[in-house]
Amino acid sequence: MLFVLMSILAFTLSVQQSYQSGNFKFFVVMFFRQLLLLCSIIPISMRVNLDFAKLIYSYRINQDKEIEGSLARNS
């Protein structure tokens, strides 16, 4: 899903940049350039989502009434 969204975003940015410059000859080059630049964003966002999920899960474990006395030791 992230790859599809990244490809759509790269396509949109390439179209916008080609339209502004008026040069559609280098659209494919622009597309791959945007795709490579956006590839560096995905691992960062996955790490942030993982840390946020750990925070939520540890809170839910600490507040769960069915397993009283449990304590999450990691975030």
In the chain, domain spans: 2-63
CA distance 60 to 75: 11
Angle at 39 between CA 37 and CA 40, to 5 degrees: 80
pLDDT score recorded for residue 12: 92
Q: pLDDT truncated to tens, each residue of the chain (75 aa)?
A: 777 888 898 899 898 888 877 777 778 888 888 888 887 776 766 777 788 888 888 888 888 888 888 887 866
Note the pLDDT of residue 58.
87
